[in-house]
Structure 1
Amino acid sequence: MKPPKNKQAELSMIYGRLSVNGHTEDLSTQRKCRPADWDKQAGRVKGNKEEARSINAWLDLLYARAHQCRQELYAAGKPFTARQVRKLMQGEELEPSKMLSEVWNYQLNYIIGLIGKDYSKATLEKYQAGYKALKKFLQLKYQTDDLRLDQLDHQFVKDYEYYLKTGHHVQNNTAIQIIKKLRTIVRIAMDFGWLQRDPFIAHRMRATEVHRDYLTGEELARLATKRFSKKLSVVRDLFLFSCYTGLSYADTVKLAATDLVTENGETWIQTHRIKNNNRVRVPLLPPAKLLLQHYAHHPRRPEGKLLPNISNQKANAYLKDITRELGLNKRLTYHCARHTFATTVTLTNGVPLETVGQMLGHRSIKSTQHYARVTDTKVRTDMQPVKKIYTGQALTLVTEAE
């Protein structure tokens, strides 16, 4: 029994004391009695009156509940404290759910610490953009910028997908990539034991197939021989270099002399992709070698690099002008160069898909299949043996009798 703060009060509050391994925790029994009626040794109210019996019955119930909670925690096989017994008795959470922000910030800090090793700066920016979109959704849907992990369910994921397509105004494939970031966060939380159920277990999204433009052999030749202004020529040449090597824009402008190796008289590009650090090894084709020679002493070539450096945004803007001057009815971006390499330069000329994938720096053949397109020229070439078989054969048409 604890003495009341108001010394004039007749009744004092009865407290229970839990002790586990020498550590104690007090809890209020929500019952009071007069100090003179309290049996300190027995820990009960004296007498046999109705009020005394009612209070003692309640104290017996709390005593039994304390031992029951202790048994439950002991059966769980984990160490526990007096505070955890008290929380269990009072219906509180033993371990409050982690917040979504805690896991996301953990992953952001993890990526930041491994930039240049396991992750690129672009990956960090994608996670940051995904987190920004998620907080906007939480503000709109829940009027908060954070949520408990145990509040995540299938409806939350579906509502988030709907928001990305209608409120955030992104296309289906972009929405898939943003949601993948959230799925990674959820998987981390489950791996750490912070989340027990997977809100994505019934979630399905199908990517929309994108047919990105590429240059045919004839168009590639026109691009290489047409005269452009000085600013457009530099972008044209960078684009051509990627068409002949399969390198992305970022990998093209970072290319250094140390990335070129010579073996048995043949020059190779040997580097690692910025995007995923995958190894890239590509034989240097004659047109690509000529481009390197042309820019060997170019004033806009950064120190130690092999080609001029122009921002990706400006390069894509200039490619629109180049497309217009060529009279092409295509939407060319710098990434189309990789598709041109995969389709026109290699696959059409009989290079196996597995080899193309290795030169593009892909881990999976599925990634390469998104780039490779079977062109009409390849179909025509492959069908020539079949055409010869049927050429000159007599064909008798059997029709229904009149």
Structure 2
Amino acid sequence: MNKFFAVLFHVKKSKVTTNGTAPIFMRVTIDGERIEISTKRLVEPNKWNAAGQKAVGTTEAIRSLNVYLKTLEQKVYEVHRKMMEEQEPLTASTLKAMLLGGHKPANIKSLIPIFKEHNQRIADLVGKEYSKGTFDRYETSLKHTLDFLLWKYNLTDIDIKKIDNEFITSYDFYLRSQRNCNNNSTVKYLKNFKKIILICIANGWLEKDPFAKYKNKVNEVKREFLNSAELEILATKNWLVSVYPK
């Protein structure tokens, strides 16, 4: 899924210095999240063209400033492109961290490594605390989660702070529409996924439970008893099968 992405330069006239110049800031917006970065450059407010995103003038200082701003803008677009190609969790904050430090901020927690670590712990306890079937169910849930991220967001991972009610309801819809899961299977897969979310909450990585408004529940399955005629058929049927060719 393409994200809204914009880069804008603006002058903070509220911070005019004693010599009449004001700082130029770069504003980066990604899907409504906005961050600002100082360009560490100053300009006289009356020499700034807001529409053209550049300083106005023919002096060498003005030309040098505009070249610098254009180079900085290109660097932002290059970091954005690289993060998209490498399918990094992309937010204004993570882009700023990559731009300034070359790496994601330490407090960013990604979903898939947490999910994989959980499943590895289950695998290590198969035969002790868990059955092989339990491990298989969580591995299937992980696969569905990866497929959903690719289908919905064109990502292979996501910042857990981006998981909200809309994410959960979209995941529910994906399981029903794209995986053809019935209600009970859908709810059970999301129950497995919720365990990963609860791990994140317990560790303080998430403040809010994205499942708080998710209300679907397992439907009761009614199993019909065999009637007397069907029981009679089973009682009288010859279950021996010849293993020799006729």
What is the TM-score with the length of structure 2 in the denominator? 0.54
1: CA distance, partners of 2:228 / 2:197? 46
User: Quick check: 1:187 aligned with 2:192?
Assistant: no
1: CA distance, partners of 2:182 / 2:158? 26
* 1:192-341 matches, cutoff 5 A: 192-216=203-227, 219-230=230-241
Q: Which 4+ stretches in 1 moved above 4 angstroms? A: 28-31
Letter in 1 for 2:142: Y
Q: How far does residue 209 in structure 1 lie from its aligned partner after superposition?
A: 2.8
Find the counterpart in structure 2 of residue 160 from structure 1.
171
Q: Could you tell which deviates more after superposition, 205-214 or 190-199?
A: 205-214
Find the counterpart in structure 1 of residue 26 from structure 2.
none
Q: How far does residue 95 in structure 1 lie from its aligned partner after superposition?
A: 3.6
Letter in 1 for 2:168: V
- 3-state SS of 2:192 partner: helix
After superposition, what is the alpha-carbon deviation per residue over 1:233-287, rounded to whole angstroms, capped at 9, x for unaligned? Answer: xxxxxxxxxxxxxxxxxxxxxxxxxxxxxxxxxxxxxxxxxxxxxxxxxxxxxxx
Q: How far does residue 221 in structure 1 lie from its aligned partner after superposition?
A: 4.5
Q: 1:124 to 1:197 in 2, by over 3 A?
A: same
1: CA distance, partners of 2:198 / 2:183? 22
Pairwise CA RMSD? 2.9
1: CA distance, partners of 2:218 / 2:124? 31
2: CA distance, partners of 1:160 / 1:204? 14
Which one has more relative contact order, counting CA pairs under 8 Å at least 6 apart?
2
> Paired residue for 1:148, among 159, 162, 167?
159
Q: How far does residue 225 in structure 1 lie from its aligned partner after superposition?
A: 2.9
Q: How far does residue 218 in structure 1 lie from its aligned partner after superposition?
A: 5.3
Letter in 2 for 1:188: I
Letter in 1 for 2:204: G
User: Quick check: 1:116 aligned with 2:130?
Assistant: no
1: CA distance, partners of 2:231 / 2:242? 19
* 1:54-203 matches, cutoff 5 A: 95-203=106-214
2: CA distance, partners of 1:29 / 1:228? 84
Q: How far does residue 29 in structure 1 lie from its aligned partner after superposition?
A: 10
What is the TM-score with the length of structure 1 in the denominator? 0.34
Q: How far does residue 208 in structure 1 lie from its aligned partner after superposition?
A: 2.5
Letter in 2 for 1:150: K
Q: 1:102 to 1:217 in 2, by over 3 A?
A: same
Q: 1:217 to 1:191 in 2, by over 3 A?
A: farther
Letter in 2 for 1:167: Q
Q: How far does residue 168 in structure 1 lie from its aligned partner after superposition?
A: 1.1
Q: How far does residue 30 in structure 1 lie from its aligned partner after superposition?
A: 4.5
2: CA distance, partners of 1:151 / 1:198? 12
- 3-state SS of 1:230 partner: coil
Say which one has the larger Rg.
1
After superposition, what is the alpha-carbon deviation per residue over 1:296-335, rounded to whole angstroms, capped at 9, x for unaligned? Answer: xxxxxxxxxxxxxxxxxxxxxxxxxxxxxxxxxxxxxxxx
Letter in 1 for 2:139: Q
Find the counterpart in structure 2 of residue 64 from structure 1.
none
Unaligned runs of 5+ in 1: 1-27, 32-86, 233-402
After superposition, what is the alpha-carbon deviation per residue over 1:200-237, rounded to whole angstroms, capped at 9, x for unaligned? Answer: 011110323322233245533431332134279xxxxx
Letter in 2 for 1:123: T
Letter in 1 for 2:241: K
Q: How far does residue 152 in structure 1 lie from its aligned partner after superposition?
A: 0.3
Aligned pairs, number: 148
2: CA distance, partners of 1:154 / 1:162? 12
Q: 1:206 to 1:225 in 2, by over 3 A?
A: same
Q: 1:117 to 1:171 in 2, by over 3 A?
A: same
